[in-house]
Amino acid sequence: MPEGDTVWLTAHRLHAALAGRPLLRADLRVPQLATTDLAGRRMLEVVPRGKHLMARVEGGLTLHSHLRMDGAWHLYAPGERWRGGPAHQVRAVLENEARTAVGYRLPVLELLPTAEEEGVVGHLGPDLLGPDWEPARALAALSGNPERPVGEALLDQRNLAGIGNVYVSELCFLRGVTPWTPFGEVAAPEKLVVLAKRLLEANKSRPGHITTGDTRRGRTNWVYGREHQPCLRCGTPVRRAEHGEDGRTRVAYWCPRCQRGPTPSAG
Q: For residues 7 and 13, give the distance between their C-alpha atoms in angstroms, rounded to a whole number.
A: 10
Q: Strand, coil or helix: what is 252?
A: strand
Is residue 78 part of the annotated active site? The answer reads no
Q: CB–CB of 264/180 below 8 Å?
A: yes
Q: For residues 4 and 194, give the distance between their C-alpha atoms in angstroms, rounded to a whole number.
A: 15
Q: CB–CB of 77/22 below 8 Å?
A: no
Q: Strand, coil or helix: what is 220?
A: coil
What is the torsional sign of CA 250, 211, 122, 147? Answer: positive
Is residue 2 part of the annotated active site? The answer reads yes
Q: For residues 47 and 266, give the distance between their C-alpha atoms in angstroms, rounded to a whole number.
A: 43
Strands 52-57 and 25-28: unpaired
Instruction: Given the residues 21, 42, 105, 250, select the one marked as catalytic.
Output: 250
Is residue 204 part of the annotated active site? The answer reads no
| H or E stretch at 158 | none
Instruction: Given the residues 48, 49, 51, 95, select the one marked as catalytic.
Output: 51
Total residues belonging to the chain: 267
Catalytic residue ranges: 2-3, 51, 250
